[in-house]
Each structure stands twice: as C-alpha cells, then as structure tokens.
A and B are shown apart, each in its own frame.
Chain A
Amino acid sequence: MVKVFQAADATDLVTELRRSFDDGVTRGYEWRVTQLKKLLLICDNHEPEIVSALHDDLGKPELESSVYEVALLRNSINLAVKQLKDWMAPDKAKTSLTTFPASAEIVYEPLGVVLVISAWNYPFLLSIDPVIGAISAGNAVVLKPSELAPASSSLLAKLLEQYLDSSAVRVVEGAVTETTLLLEQKWDKIFYTGSSRIGRIIMMAAAKHLTPVVLELGGKSPVVIDSDTNLKITAKRIIAGKWGCNNGQACISPDYILTTKEFSPKVIDALKQELEAFYGKNPMESKDMSRIVNSNHFDRLSKMLEEKEVSDKIVYGGQKNRDKLKIAPTILVDVPLDSQIMSEEIFGPLLPIITLNNLEECFDVIRSRPKPLAAYLFTQNQKLKERFALTVSAGGIVVNDIAVHLAVPTLPFGGVGESGMGSYHGKFSFDAFSHKKAVLYKSFIGDAAIRYPPYSTGKLRLLKALVNSNILEIFRVILGLS
C-alpha cells in the first residue's frame, strides 16, 4: 500500500532536511565528495537497469540512454569531484582607496534546502545533473522526478535512497498534487526543468517565499540553413540532433528550418536521403528512435498534422500508429505561420521548413517569436555567423552543429525570456546552488574622521577627492585642513 503524500509529509520533510542542513551535515567537503562518488557508483552499477527503465518509459534506444543520460552524468560527476576544492575556495576581490585598508573576498555558501523538479524526456540526466550541482554546493536536496516517466521515477527513488545520505537527499514521487504540496513549502532555491506554462506557476509559488529559481524551459529552436553549407553534413547533424535525441522530444531539438525558396528543395532531398540512411525505408520499424511518450502527446502531435492547410504540406513521412505511439519522421514545407505547428513547441518528430525569399528575412522571423532555448545556423559565411551570434537572442547559439553545447561544461546552459532564467552545467551548476557572500575585512587603522559628523566643508572636499581617487587633491585638502 503506497502511503499518500500529504501536506504534513511535505512540512515534515522540509523540517527534517533543514535540521540536517543546520546541523552541518552537507557543508563539509568530505560529505559532498562522498555523495558525488555514490552517484558515480549508481552509474557504474546500474546502467542496464537505467537503460531498461528508459526503454520502458520512452522506448529510448540503448545508445541514447548510455550516452546522453549515463555517460553525460558520469562526466558531470567526475568534473565536480575533480574541481570541487577549487569551486569551494573563496574568490579574492579587489578593494579601493575609499575602503582602504581592507581586504575582500567572495565566499561560496550553500543556499540551504533546495527543490529539484525534473522532466520526463531525459529523466535521469535532468534529475541527477541539477542534484550534482545542489550537492556540490553543500545543500540538502529534494528531487521530484516526472510522473510521466514512471519506471525512471521509481528507479531514481530506489537508487538514491539506497546509495545517498537520506538525512539530506530525498526523492518524492508523484504528480500535480504532490508537486503542489511541495511548492507550498519554503525552499532556499527551486530548480525546474519543463514547460513555460508550468514555469510561471513555479515562479509564482516561489515568490511567496522570495525563493530564487532556475527555470530551464523550452521554445521553438530555429535552424537557419545557408546555401553555402555542406548539405550532407548539415542534414546528418539535424537528423541526429532531432530524431536521434529522443525523437524530437528535447528542449533544444531543432524545431523548424528557415532557408531560401531556392535552396529548400536541396535541403529536403538531403534530409530524405540521410533519413533513409539512418532509419531505413521503414522508419516506423526502426529501433533507433524513441517512441512518443504517451497518448496525450501523440494526440497533440496528430492534431498538429491534421490541421487544415498543414496536412497537405507534408513532403515526407506522416505515418502514425497510436497503439505503438509512433509517428514517422515527418517533413512539411511552408505551413501557415499561425498554424498550431508553428505556434507552439513541437516536441516531436515533425519538422516544418519555412522558405524565405532572402535568407536575411530569418532575423525578422526569429525576432518576432518568443526567445528560444537554442538557435542554430549552418553556413560558411563569417559575417552571417557574427551577425547571427550578436543579434539573435536565445539561451545559446550553435553554428554548424546541433545540441552539442549541452555537453560542454564550460558553457552556461540556460534560457532567456520565455525559454527560462538562470543556467547550469560545470561550475555554473555549483554557482546556481550557491550564495556568493561578499566579505570585507577592515582593520582598525585608518579610521578616517571625515566619515563622521559633524559634517564640514573640509570633510566634504576630502570625501570628494577620495571618491575620485584623486591623490593630489587628497594631499591638498589634508594640508589645507591642518
């Protein structure tokens, strides 16, 4: 009999974790490294179970699970273990003449008790990667995995309880009810991965307690294809980045293509050719793609395809099988810009191509839409690359590749505008869960009388000189005063 999670449970949970935090359980370097190494053991000892759970929940191919979930996590943990001492050390800060004599530094301290709410599409990666950040920074953490990936959720609960220190790290399984109860509590940080719609609800709940948030949301990530690009490699990378990453159900999935009317037929041909090379003539039978996660999303995607003025724009694919929750890789050309498929994040195996008279128009198209999590450009034109990088606002920009920036720990990964706020990966994860406390050490010498009342013109002049760091003026005033 599964015990129902109630309001009192949420309160007790936070109280308990807060006590552990206040007792200093999570603060020490040793504890943090031990927990991180235990996470590594989970990756080492349980990869087959993880792969199996991901296959149950999403039909995810073994390679994707091994590489994009487990291997990425392993790298993330190893990096944290290696760098933790460095990350935990205070940063020295410069001081100035006005605060002389003093020394200053920035001390990293944990925020306290934090909540990580993860998503269903990469249930292990998006649960454990933020938890790595939370633990490295010395926090106690509660993880709420997505109920839409139930096998993964229950495996996470089992493994984290088995390996990690449950006085400070806990998993709460559940859906809307449990999440709502958790959100009523006061957290020191909330890290959420998911949709913009729920992101608003999370931030609103966080506002009640002045809890800072990181929101990793989504959006429609555009791919601009210039006619001077190597089309074969471009097509391969788009396909691997879209259908090869959870079948388009990823936050940085290439959502739609922008290219010229002239170049578009070549793009379509290249895509068709490579799609067949990757998935064969019968992609519905291919084992190398995840399925659609559930019937809700299947119906959502079906509706997109069936919309009037959209269904007749299919140039490749379009086959569906509701029982198997499969939709074939589908390419469409020039669907109406206000259609469903061009208004909301697709998050599936459909790829619309919008053709332009002139590639320059891509900037207006992208700018007229909410800021996406990623924007992609394939070109050899240096000027175009620079203009794109400078003027297209997105969480991150990738030129001549797809999605790879997610795996680079030295680049901050996060959104802007509708696609989110805050970032993580590498040290950015540590920072996301830390408070950077400014510390100023003043010594007792050099206590200038000018700072104190009664205020006089002389004191004012000296202060002005100090503020302007004007050494000559300082001497003049001092000499003039005495």
Chain B
Amino acid sequence: MEAVKETVDQSLREMRDTFASGRTRSVKWRKAQLGAIIEMVKDNEEKMSDVLFQDLGKHSTEAFRDELGFVMRSATTALNCLDKWVVPRNSNLPLLFYPATGKVISEPYGTVLVLSSWNFPISLSLDPMIGAIAAGNTVLLKASELSPNASALLAKLIPSYLDTKAIKVIEGGPDIATILLQHQWDKIFFTGSPKIGKIIMAAAAEHLTPVTLELGGKCPTIIDHHSVSKDMKAYYVLVEQSFASTLIDMFKPVIRSFFGENPKESGCLAKIVTKKHFQRLSRLLNDPRVKASIVYGGSMDEEKLYVEPTILLDPPLDSEIVNEEIFGPILPIITLRDIQESIGFIKSKPKPLAIYAFTKDENLKTRILSETSSGSVTFNDLMIQYMCDALPFGGVGQSGMGRYHGKYSFECFSHEKAIMEGSLAMDPEARYPPWNNFKLNFIRLAFREAYFKLVLLMLGLTKGVRK
C-alpha cells in the first residue's frame, strides 16, 4: 500500500508540474494526443476486441459498435472541432457598460481523475479522457478491476501512445480508488452506480472538487401497443395488459433469430462479468415470486457464467429485480390497464438515465416529455441517443449529474471563465463617493437604460427619478 501511495503522490506531482508548464494548453499538443488515441485503437483493434471478449464475452461487432468505433469517432470529432471549441465567445454587453467588452474563455481545470466502469471498459475510459485532453487537462485513469484484461491492456497501451507526463493509468479496485480520492483533484469524472457515486461526491466535497457522475438506474421502455421493439437491451418494459402476450410472442422469435436455438453457444451473447454478479442474478431469479413470473428462458449455467435471455411477466413490483439495476439479460414486462399509467409508474421511481418510448401517439409523447424526468428521452429506438454526439449524455437525480459527448465533453472538463475589459476613457463621476442624490438618480437611470432621461438629468432639466 505504501508503494501505491508513493506512486500516486509522484504521478500527481508530475501531472501538476506538466500542467503548470503549460504544455497541455497548446492546441497542437491536444490534437497530437487525440490523433494518438485514434492510432492506438486502430492499431490494436483485435487485441481490444479480444480483451472485451475475455472480460465480458462481448462479440467483436458489438465491441466495435459500442466501444472501439465509438471511441474513434469521438476522438475524430474532437480533433476536427477543437479549433472551433477553443475560441473565446464574445458576450454582448448592455449599453450601460459601453465601451467595455466581455467574453468567455474555456480554461482547463487542471489535473483530473477519470474512474470508469466495467460494462464498457474501453469507451467509458477513453471517451471521458478524450474530453479531458481536448480541454487541455492532465488526466489519470483508473479503469475497473472487474474488467481486468481491458484494464491491463489500457495500462499497457496508453503509456506507449500518449504523453506519459500528462496522461497516466493506474490499475486497481476500491482500495486504490480510496487512495486516489484522498487527494485533491481539479475535477472527477465517475461512471458507475449511485451508491458509489455518493461516496465519490462526498470525497470530492472535502476538496471542493466539481464532479460529473454518470450513474445507472433502471431505464424504462414504454411500448405503446401500436409499435414494436426488437432490441433486448431495455431494462424493463411497460405495456398495456391486453398487449402483453402479443409482445412476448413477438420477442420469442426475435430472440431466436438473434441468438439461435441455443443462445449459450451462439457466441453473440455476452457472459455475466463475474461470479459475484452471476450469484446476484441467480438469487434474484430464484426468488419464488420472481420465478413464477418467468415466461421465457430462465436457465443458468454458473460455470460458464451464462444466463439465458429471460422474460418476466409482471414480477412483484416490490422485488429487487424490478427496483434495482439489473446487469443481465433479464427483461421484466410490467403490464398496465392503460398505457397512460406508465407515466405515473415511472414518476414513482428514481429518475432514470434514459426513457425509451415506442409510440406514434403525439399526446403520449408530450405527456412523457413534460411529466417525467430523465437524463434523456428517446422515441422509437433504444440506446441510440448514446451515439448521437450532438446530444448531451448524462443523468438527473439518482441517475447522475453533469453530461458529456461531443462538445459537451470539452465543456465538462473546462471552467468557463468570464473576462471583462473596462475602458479608462469613460469615467463618470457618478460612479464614486461621496454619494449624493444626483449620483443616485444618475445611476438609477443608467441602470434602467433610460438614456434620454439621463441626459436630461445631466443637463439639469430634471431633478430625479419616479421610482
């Protein structure tokens, strides 16, 4: 432990010195690093696919779509847009302040910490880092120990492609995280569970460190019976009672077409990440009331860490499987008398990261938008908002605070500094004590931008202001 503490101290010192030297402020440096990230992923696509398969059983297409391709695109966007993003924005000042000028500059926070999660270990590590680097910070990454091969690969590759004095990786679990959190960072970016998010924010509070927390939470999918869903990646589905059996009948052939008759052997279904997670899922499914609600699937293999794609119909609403985040191929379907009730149902639970709604009903769409709160809402698709980098990605309430992707990543790691320049030319006496009624009226009129009256006041043609 002492050795680790020493390493962390040293790393922090080096990163802070590097930041102070101004090297990371240069746009050229930032672009070089972003280019190096793209190269790193391109050169090592196969190795990265491999570790994702080892850690998660992820198929290479999924790995590309959700992680590698995603990261390359994110870095490319940052590379192409950086010149635009770093330009100060001029602010329009009210006439009262003429001829002063104002603008806002995006300034890097300094030395930042990125803590990523195991479910998308490459993209949840590199994507925030892309933002941090684009914004001109030095950054330390700690990837999740629950995806050890991905973590190890990143720890090996990053130092050989990126500027080691500014960008560092450390491996480890909760005890390493604890050591890291004892230090003062200029920003912390965390992806993970709400439970740990609270610990991170409390630790950050000691140093008044701003945080972005990308947390989880159950993402409801509303299926209006006019439409159909093909993707299994929802967390729970809300449908009208009358539609439930139709939906289940629609799911079954779709699952079969995705994964074949024997999903275990398909090679397309990711495995459960650890034995601990498997045992948790097994426990959730073995609850007799939950077991009774299984209408498809349900078989499990502890040795292969395999859980069959499983559909539950109306599991008890107070069960853990309905209320806790499920990281597994289990889909609870909850039926309602009327699809409009889905709104009340969602509102009764903590605010999710995303709400998905399949419907053509404009009224329902409006109600969902205005009556529920979530990080985001996607109509008629799933997960895809993650890929749209013009949209901010982040939560609200229990699902998190702060956002990123595209330009939002750059802003996430920047302090928006206001800069105002006054003029020494215009210097009305009314600005200065000793105070008197004339000065008071002058300032009142100036504030109201009542310039004509102001002129009258100065010419002595009016005494004062009617309040």
> Do A and B make up one complex?
yes
By a CB distance below 8 angstroms, the chain B residues around A398 are 419-422
Contact of B435 among A61, A230, A237, A468 (CB under 8 A): A61
Complex contacts, A162 vs chain B, CB 8 Å: none
Nearest Cβ on chain A to B74's Cβ, whole angstroms = 10
Contact partners of B377 in chain A: CB under 8 A = 107, 437-440
Interface membership of A459, Cβ < 8 A: yes
For residue B128, which residues in chain A have a CB less than 8 angstroms away from its CB?
none
B380 within 8 A of A: yes
Q: Are A441 and B60 in contact (CB under 8 A)?
A: no
Is A220 in the interface zone, CB < 8 Å from B?
A: no
**Residues of chain A in range 219-272 having any CB-CB distance to chain B below 8 Å:** 229-230, 233, 236-237, 239-240, 244
Cβ of B443 and Cβ of A396 under 8 Å apart?
no
- Please report whether the interface of chain B is mostly helix, strand, loop or mixed according to DSSP: mixed
Q: Does A128 contact B (CB under 8 A)?
A: no
Query: Contact: B61 with A459, CB < 8 Å?
Result: yes
B295 CB–A CB distance under 8 Å:
no
Interface 9-mer from B170-178, B286-294, B382-390: B382-390
Q: Name which of B213, B415, B443 has the most chain A CB atoms within 10 A of its CB.
A: B415
Distance in angstroms between the alpha carbons of A106 and B408 in the assembled complex: 13
Known A210-B398, A412-B416; contact A96-B390, beta-carbon cutoff 8 A: yes
A92 to B251, CA, bound (A): 34
0/1 string, B417-445, CB within 8 A of A gives 1: 11111111001000111110001100110
Min CB distance, A105 to chain B, in Å?
9
Q: How far is the CB of A100 from chain B (nearest CB, A)?
A: 10
Shortest distance from the beta carbon of B183 to any chain A beta carbon, whole Å: 14
Instruction: Tell which of A293-301, A310-318, A400-408, A473-481 binds the partner.
Output: A400-408
Residues in B neighbouring A96, C-beta threshold 8 A:
387-390
Instruction: Name A95's closest neighbour in chain B (CB-CB).
Output: B388
Q: Quick check: A109 and B97 within 8 Å, CB to CB?
A: no
Report which of B197, B257, B390, B422 forms a contact with A104, defined as CB distance below 8 A.
B390
Contact-size category for B: 35 or more
Known: A188-B397, A210-B198, A408-B93. A44 touches B467 (CB 8 A): yes
At the interface, yes or no: B14 with Cβ under 8 Å from chain A?
no
Which B residues are in CB contact (< 8 Å) with A367?
20
Q: Verify B384–A442 contact, CB threshold 8 A.
A: yes
Which of A27, A106, A418 interacts with B392 by CB under 8 Å? A106
A67 within 8 Å of B (CB atoms) = yes
- B392: chain A residues at CB < 8 Å are 106, 436, 438
Q: A389-B105, A435-B396, A440-B384 are in contact. Are A400 and B258 (CB under 8 A)?
A: no
**Which residues of A lie under 8 Å from residue B389 when comparing CB positions?**
96
Partner of A278 from B257, B401, B402, B433 at Cβ < 8 Å: B433
The answer, yes or no, to whether A54 is at the interface (CB within 8 Å) is no
Q: Are A107 and B369 in contact (CB under 8 A)?
A: yes
* Category for how many chain A residues contact B: 35 or more
B349 → chain A closest CB, angstroms: 14
8 Å CB contacts to A: which residues of B372-416? 373-381, 384-385, 387-393, 396-398, 400-403, 415-416
A99: chain B residues at CB < 8 Å are 384-385, 387-388
CB <8 Å contact, B422 and A399? yes
List residues 107-163 of chain A with CB under 8 A from any CB of chain B. Answer: 107, 109, 111-112
Q: How many Å lie between the Cα of A200 and that of B447 in the bound state?
A: 36
B423 close to A437 (CB less than 8 A): no
B435 to chain A, nearest CB (A): 4
* B418 in complex: contacting residue of A200, A207, A411, A468, CB < 8 Å: A411
0/1 string, A48-71, CB within 8 A of B gives 1? 000000000000011100110001
Contact digits for A271-293, partner B, Cβ 8 Å, 1 yes 0 no: 00000001110000010110000
Contact call A411/B443, Cβ cutoff below 8 A: no
CA of A451 to CA of B268 in the docked complex: distance in angstroms? 13
B205 at interface by CB-CB < 8 Å: yes
| Closest residue of A by beta carbon distance from B49 | A460
Residues 435-471 (chain A) with a chain B CB within 8 angstroms: 435-444, 447, 451-456, 459-460, 463-464, 467-468
Q: Which residues of B contact A112 (CB under 8 A)?
A: 373
Q: Bound state CA distance, A22 and B380, in angstroms?
A: 26
Q: Is A420 in contact with B208, judged by CB distance below 8 angstroms?
A: yes
In the complex with contacts A63-B443, A417-B208, A442-B380 CB distance below 8 A: yes
Residues in B whose Cβ lies below 8 Å from that of A411: 91, 102, 104, 418, 420
Chain A residues, CB < 8 A from B397:
188, 210
A207 touching B202 by the CB < 8 A rule?
yes
The answer to whether B391 touches A106, judged by C-beta atoms less than 8 angstroms apart, is: yes
Q: Shortest distance in angstroms between B423's beta carbon and chain A's nearest beta carbon?
A: 7
CB pair A467 B69 closer than 8 Å: yes
Closest to A99 in B: B388
Q: Which chain B positions have C-beta within 8 A of A188? A: 397
Find out whether the CB atom of A95 lies under 8 angstroms from the CB atom of B467: no
Find B73's partner among A47, A95, A199, A468 (CB 8 Å cutoff).
Answer: A468
A244/B432 in contact, CB under 8 A: yes
Q: B194 — which chain A residues lie within 8 A by C-beta?
A: 210
Contact across chains for B443 and A401 when beta carbons are under 8 A apart = no
Q: Could you tell me if B201 and A207 are in contact, using CB atoms closer than 8 angstroms?
A: yes
| Set A229, A236, A443, A455: member contacting B380, Cβ < 8 A | A443
Are B385 and A464 in contact (CB-based, < 8 A)? Answer: no
Asked if B444 and A71 make an inter-chain contact with CB atoms under 8 angstroms apart, the answer reads: yes
Which residues of the partner chain A approach B215 to less than 8 Å between Cβ atoms?
210
Residue from A407, A416, A437 within 8 A of B373 (CB atoms): A437
Question: Is A240 a contact of B432 with CB atoms below 8 Å?
Answer: yes
Q: Which of A380-394 contact B (CB under 8 A)?
A: 385, 389-391, 393-394
The verdict on B370 contacting chain A, using a C-beta distance below 8 Å, is yes
Q: Assess the A404–B420 pair: CB atoms within 8 A.
A: yes
9 shortest interchain CB distances as A-B pairs: A401-B422, A455-B61, A203-B205, A207-B201, A453-B258, A438-B376, A442-B381, A438-B391, A467-B69
Chain A interfacial positions (CB closer than 8 Å to B): 22, 27, 44, 47, 61-63, 66-67, 71-72, 74-75, 93-96, 98-99, 102, 104, 106-107, 109, 111-112, 188, 196, 199-200, 203-204, 206-208, 210, 212, 215, 217, 229-230, 233, 236-237, 239-240, 244, 278-280, 286, 288-289, 367, 385, 389-391, 393-401, 404-405, 407-413, 416-418, 420-421, 423, 435-444, 447, 451-456, 459-460, 463-464, 467-468
10 further interface pairs, Cβ-Cβ under 8 Å (given A367-B20, A397-B418):
A22-B347, A62-B440, A63-B443, A210-B215, A244-B432, A393-B417, A410-B91, A410-B102, A411-B102, A416-B109
22 sample A-B contacts, Cβ–Cβ < 8 Å, listed by A number:
A63-B439, A67-B443, A93-B391, A96-B389, A99-B384, A207-B198, A207-B205, A389-B419, A390-B25, A393-B110, A396-B420, A398-B420, A400-B423, A404-B100, A413-B418, A423-B416, A439-B378, A440-B376, A453-B268, A454-B266, A455-B268, A463-B65
B residues apposed to A, CB below 8 Å: 20, 22, 25, 59-62, 64-65, 69-70, 72-73, 76, 91-94, 96-97, 100, 102, 104-105, 107, 109-110, 186, 194, 197-199, 201-202, 204-206, 208, 210, 213, 215, 227, 230-231, 257-260, 266, 268, 347, 369-370, 373-381, 384-385, 387-393, 396-398, 400-403, 415-424, 427, 431-435, 439-440, 443-444, 447-448, 467
